[in-house]
Amino acid sequence: MDTWLLSWRFWALLAAGFAALTAILAKLGVADVPSEVATFVRTLVVLALAGAILLASGRGGALAELSGRTLLFLTLSGLATGASWLCYFRALSLGDAARVAPLDKLSVVLVAVFAALFLGESLSAPAWLGVGLIAAGAWLVAAS
């Protein structure tokens, strides 16, 4: 079990499970409030949880050691996350969770393309086929 807990696959699957719960719970939560309000409340919860985990881990001191480059990219990532969440909650307020979530997961396709273009990462031909199938599947679910 210890090696499983150290596996990126375990954590990625756990993230996918929580992301699925996020879509369902967010759809229920956004039903009676503006999407911006729902996003704000969600953000406060994430901030509180992340802060509690940081304090409990005893790694709060690492904040003082962050480089300017790290802060820049984490800030940009935070802005992208905020924009993504605002768009996601707006889409959920307007559409079905079962159709919104697959389009949101086109981020998987975009990550593969961006990682190849900007990070120099490479995928095998079967992996690119998988990326294409993800795109096709997301489109089929959202379009039906």
The 10s digit of each residue's pLDDT in 79-133 is 999 999 999 999 999 999 999 999 999 999 999 999 999 999 999 999 999 999 9
DSSP string, 97-114: HHHHHHHHTTHHHHHHHH
| pLDDT at residue 5, rounded to an integer | 84
Q: How far is CA 13 from CA 26, 34, 54, 83, in A?
A: 20, 30, 22, 24
Angle at 102 between CA 111 and CA 137, to 5 degrees: 85
The model's pTM is 0.83
43-60: average pLDDT: 96
Q: Residue 79 is encoded by which pair of tokens?
A: 């802005």
Packed helices 125-143 and 107-118: angle between N→C axes, nearest 10 degrees: 150
Q: Residue 36 is encoded by which pair of tokens?
A: 């911006």
| pLDDT at residue 1, rounded to an integer | 62
Separation CA 84–CA 39 (nearest Å): 10
Separation CA 35–CA 83 (nearest Å): 12
